[in-house]
Structure 1
């Protein structure tokens, strides 16, 4: 049968296995696995069957065309190991392929990602955020549903368990902008991460390496996009726990980000900001997340596509799994369990 050695590496890394661990699970010598992944040794059918069983991917998964791992920018809560990073990249690569396969049956919103190059256009990330608000005709004040706004402008948003990663922005094989968000995060962190990753698409994709701190630039972009300085400043003069709670509920951003905005705009002092952060730490907000004061936003593009396959094209779940070269376990985890890529209730 046809076999593509690159898919073996992808499947192995998506499970978080080293070659040694796959050897232990499959009973295939590690040296043999290494030679197969490097293309130095072909894999007979009986070995592919062993890999299929050990990795819980159907045999035809390993016959697909070569995958190109997603590349892009990500926001992370902390540094992560190389092994974990490979696992998340492999998972996102597989999910991106799911989208690329399924999108052939639908007409997608045309991507509308404004571009701002600080080296050419000048200014700063905050100006870029205001530029995007103008291009997307966003009214003054808060953005009520950022996910809906982003997807309406042709950027696919997907929720996935990304472990230590908060988010990741990339372009798919069909050059469609994609933002992955960690479904473990709180609603306020999800929104800020989405704005942060949008900042990478606007500020950094297709631009020359400029040596600046891209993560800080994306952070500044997100802050201004969600909380335009001119609009929010009048509300930041008398901050305390009560007003911070009310502001979080209205602006749909974290209390920490609002306090940081107040410090940056000079409505509170550095000392006041320090004591607020100290209080957040004492309450466990910086470790475990702040109280959920609003519902998390739900992406819809991919869920609508899947619903179309199930309801209009009359695919069964088994047929969908076969189309996507997935086991039923993976199909259920990625597409049908709540708060994975999205939630679909059909059995």
Structure 2
């Protein structure tokens, strides 16, 4: 198989390098990089060695088939207009490696089929109610957002992007829903991001609003999905002070700012109260460090996958070798759970039958 220029382009972007920056690192002309990526010219063995060294990917990786790549048009990104292209492209490239890992897992495990609907004809509030009804959640708080998504067939991956610009993104691929969450955010923000991306998946599967309008709809969905109106108003029909909200937020495991906004939308606080609480939240530093912070959610599916692989003596190094990617790329996508795989023995095998990873959410 010949050197694949598309794979080179993908990993260059994964490393946050422009064509010019990559060419400077290699001490070559940027047009050479362009010709490599467009397969107009193949790099020689010495050049491939240098490419591998700079990008920290094995030489073998660049000789594989084309990979599925998330596109800017297909992925939902918040604040896309202000997001640096470098950060956006690096996150999308991580998504491509996530697809590669997901395909590897699906060859060995039976994952849940998705149980999502196209709710694009609903309002965001109506879509949240409809999905709660479909999933028989009622009005009760959601104890674990990621577990629920996985039980309903959503593929959830983590992102370890050292940037505040990337919150999360989601998309459909081969009729499977995917969500990628940046784990650099607070645990409460991660839950909201997960619900926000679920909103995109059910409201915008076949297009629809774009940009700010689509993001506003996803935010409204997430707010309603995590904090059902009747439940919120039963607990706080009228807001007295910020301490009341600080105590109540523990019920829904949301950020104080998100609860403040939801209460105002539901008419439980006045405009003056809402703005006053916004100022107090900012002054107390609660936008960066939540009062009564919750434990960060992680994946149940990946836990089950690695529990099964441990029994087969398959290590994260074996997975990375199969995919021809660095071990760190696997770790970054699975909430760090790959660190549980640590065997010194030889002769790892893969499962001879597909393990059933259906989940039950209580």
Q: TM over 0.5, yes or no?
A: yes
Q: Does 1:90 align with 2:90?
A: no
CA distance in 2, matches of 1:279, 1:302: 39
Deviation at 1:61, TM superposition (A): 0.8
The corresponding residue for 1:265 is 266
> Where do 1:96-107 residues align within 5 Å?
96-107=99-110
Q: Does 1:240 align with 2:235?
A: no
Q: Does 1:116 align with 2:116?
A: no
- For structure 1, the 5+ residue unaligned runs are none
Q: Does 1:176 align with 2:169?
A: no
Deviation at 1:8, TM superposition (A): 0.5
Per-residue CA distance 1:280-315 (angstroms, 9 max, x = gap): 1112223x2423522121112234324433432x32
The corresponding residue for 2:346 is none
CA distance in 2, matches of 1:145, 1:254: 15
CA distance in 1, matches of 2:331, 2:219: 34
Deviation at 1:55, TM superposition (A): 0.5
Deviation at 1:332, TM superposition (A): 4.9
CA distance in 1, matches of 2:127, 2:50: 52
Per-residue CA distance 1:184-216 (angstroms, 9 max, x = gap): 111111111111100000100124458981111
* Alignment counterpart, residue 78 of structure 2, candidates 75, 80, 92: 75
Length-normalised TM-score, structure 1: 0.90
CA distance in 2, matches of 1:198, 1:333: 21
Distance 1:19 1:285, change over 3 A: same
The corresponding residue for 2:256 is 255
Deviation at 1:2, TM superposition (A): 2.0
- For structure 2, the 5+ residue unaligned runs are 343-362
CA distance in 2, matches of 1:115, 1:239: 39
Deviation at 1:343, TM superposition (A): 5.5
The corresponding residue for 1:345 is 340
Deviation at 1:155, TM superposition (A): 0.4
Length-normalised TM-score, structure 2: 0.86
Q: Does 1:325 align with 2:328?
A: no
Q: CA RMSD in A?
A: 2.2
The corresponding residue for 1:147 is 146
CA distance in 1, matches of 2:276, 2:81: 23
The corresponding residue for 1:11 is 11
Cα pair 2:171 2:178 within 8 Å, conserved: yes
Cα pair 1:196 1:218 within 8 Å, conserved: yes
Distance 1:343 1:318, change over 3 A: closer
CA distance in 2, matches of 1:169, 1:68: 14
Secondary structure in structure 2 of the residue aligned to 1:74:
coil
Cα pair 1:16 1:84 within 8 Å, conserved: yes
Cα pair 2:139 2:230 within 8 Å, conserved: no
The corresponding residue for 2:352 is none
Q: Does 1:280 align with 2:263?
A: no
The corresponding residue for 1:54 is 54
CA distance in 2, matches of 1:145, 1:218: 19
Deviation at 1:327, TM superposition (A): 2.5
The corresponding residue for 1:126 is 125
CA distance in 2, matches of 1:234, 1:77: 37
Distance 1:307 1:76, change over 3 A: farther
Deviation at 1:333, TM superposition (A): 4.9
